[in-house]
Amino acid sequence: MLDPELADRVSFVGHDMHEAQTVVADAYLFRHVFPNWPQKYCVKFLKNLVPAMMDGAKVLIHEACLSDAGNVPYLESRFIRNLDICMMSVHSGRERTEGEWEQIFALVDKRFRYCGARKSADGAGFCIYEAVWEADASP
């Protein structure tokens, strides 16, 4: 449910990721989308945002936090690794590390500045990966 104080400033709009984005917005949110797809499609879907991006616009990706073994509690790591195996076997996709997200944004367009990841406060093993569009940067 959307906080009533934000209701007049936030709208959720569906989009066909296979087509160019036409809606100019301050932020674009992808939630539990990219693990279903190989990297080349992740790059394509993010490139489809470029025509609508304005300076300072953000791309927020809500996905599992895949980190190096030993950096997270055992059960959390096991849960995320099981998701990763499932995505590989069913969709030819995968969960990605923070470094891999940084590489993907670099492949999409040099005007994306990868800002990092913030872990969900609920400890459920998910992160928000963030990149900002810098229109003045050279492509």
Burial of 124 (0-12, 13-18, 19+ CB in 10 A): exposed
Q: Is this model's pTM higher than 0.85 or not?
A: no
- Cα angle for residues 131, 135, 137 (degrees, 5° grid): 90
The pLDDT-based confidence of 50 (bands split at 50, 70, 90) is: very high
33-54: average pLDDT: 94
Task: Please state, for a pLDDT cut of 70, what percent of the chain lies above it.
Answer: 76
Q: How far apart are CA 96 and CA 70, in angstroms?
A: 16
Q: Which two tokens stand for residue 95?
A: 């969960």
Q: Which two tokens stand for residue 137?
A: 């940067």
Instruction: Tell me the per-residue pLDDT of 18-38, one tens digit each, with 9 for 90 and over.
Output: 999 999 999 999 998 998 888
- Cα angle for residues 107, 72, 83 (degrees, 5° grid): 60
Which of the pair, 31 or 89, is modelled with greater confidence? 31
Q: How far apart are CA 84 and CA 35, in angstroms?
A: 8
Q: Fill in the DSSP letter of residue 7.
A: T
Q: Write down the pLDDT at residue 90.
A: 64
Residues with Cβ within 8 Å of residue 48, at least 6 apart in sequence: 17, 18, 19, 20, 21
The pLDDT-based confidence of 96 (bands split at 50, 70, 90) is: confident
Q: Write down the pLDDT at residue 88.
A: 61
45-62: average pLDDT: 97
Q: Write down the pLDDT at residue 120.
A: 79
Q: Write down the pLDDT at residue 123.
A: 62
User: Over 90: is that where the pLDDT of 2 sits?
Assistant: no
- 27-133 classified as CATH 3.40.50.150: yes
Q: Write down the pLDDT at residue 17.
A: 94
The pLDDT-based confidence of 77 (bands split at 50, 70, 90) is: low
The residue extents of the domains of the chain are: 27-133
